[in-house]
Amino acid sequence: MHIQSVRRYLLQSNHNSHVKRIIVGLLVLAVFGFASKLIFAPATFGDLGHYRAKAILEEANLEPRLMTNESCLTCHQHEKRKHLKGTHKTVSCEFCHGAYFDHILDDKKIGTLDVKKGEEIRVLCLRCHNKEIQARPTDKIKTVALPQHLEEKRVRTTHTCDQCHYVHAPLEYVNLAKKMMRIKDEPEKEPCP
């Protein structure tokens, strides 16, 4: 009986009862919307600006995948002795070989990195040293044209670069050979900074 009377009261229609119901409905909607805006706003949003402040920390906490030459040369002592003395000392180990963390993870070796050989070496070397690409500043890098360079040095044109130039210290053995053979021409200059 009681419920019936409440229902009758709710459903009775004055000339403006529908307007009242609409206004109540809109207010409920607004309160609900405002509440969900507060509830669902992510934590730390707005602490530093209109963004999730924690996102800065999440970005900062990402793990690097590439390391530095020093990290590689900690183990690779032979390369360390050669690489740091030669003209390639500024070349990144990981550029030619791949990412550190594809090789070492938590002090354990997890994979073997690429060592370029043969024709791949030529492609890799020419990536920087190709004279045909004229956009390279000449004071920053020594460039050669192939096969003219090979012909000039009187070696077979099938030679790959690393047959004369040790990749980690490209001029070391060349200059040594010249010294031994008492070839008089100037020792090659180092263009790198």
Partner 1 sequence: MDVLSNGAVTTVSNFVFPNDLHVHWSMMIVLYPYITGIVAGAFIVSSLYHVFNIKALKPVSRFSLLFALAFLACATLPLLVHLGHPERSMNMMITPSPSSAMAGFGYIYALYGIVLVLEILFIYRPKLVQLQAGSAGWMQKIYTLLSFGSDNVTPESLALDKKIIKFLAAIGIPMACLLHGYVGFIFGGVKANPTWSTPLMPVIFLLSACVSGISGIILLYILTKKYRRESLNLECIKTCFNYLAGFFIIDFTFEMLEVFSHSYLRSGYHHMVEGLLNGPLYISFWVAQVFMFSVVPLFLFGWLCLTRVKDRLYILGTMVTSGLLLLQVLYMRWNVVIGGQLMSKSARGYTEFHPQWFHKEGIITAIILMSLPFIVLFFLGKIFPFWLEESE
Partner 2 sequence: MGENSQTLDKERRDFIKKVLKGTIGGSLLLVIPAGLRSGIEVPVQIPGIRDQEYDLNKKRFAFVVDITSCIGCGSCCVADKREYKVPDYHYRTWVERYLKDFDDKIYVDSPNGGLDGYQEPRKDLDKEIRDTFFVPKLCNMCNDPPCVQVCPVGATFRSPDGFVLVDEKHCVGCAYCIQACPYSVRFLNPVTHSADKCTWCYHRVRKGLLPACVNVCPTGARKFGDVNDKESEVSKILSGPGVFTVLRKAMGTSPSLHYMGARREVI
Applying CB under 8 A, the span of 13-21, 48-56, 171-179, 180-188 interacting with partner 2 comes to 48-56
Q: Which does 181 bind (CB under 5 to 8 A by kind): partner 1, partner 2, none?
A: none
31, 55, 115, 177: which one contacts partner 2 (CB under 8 A)? Answer: 55
**Cα Rg for the chain, rounded, in angstroms?**
36
What is the DSSP-derived secondary structure letter of residue 122? H
Asked if residue 185 binds partner 2 (CB under 8 A), the reply is: no
**Tokens linked to 7:** 């229902």
92: Cα separation from own chain's centroid: 13
136 binds partner 2 (CB under 8 A): yes
| Closest to partner 2 by CB, 54 or 149 | 54
- Alpha-helix residue ranges (DSSP H) falling in the chain: 2-11, 17-40, 54-60, 69-73, 77-83, 93-97, 119-129, 148-152, 172-180
- Residue 62 touches which of partner 1, partner 2, none (CB < 5 to 8 A by kind)? partner 2
Q: Who contacts 43 (Cβ-Cβ below 8 Å, separation ≥6)?
A: 52, 54
Interface residue list for partner 2 (CB under 8 A): 42-45, 47-68, 70-71, 74, 88, 90-92, 94-95, 98-99, 101, 104-107, 123, 126-128, 130, 132-137, 140-141, 192-193
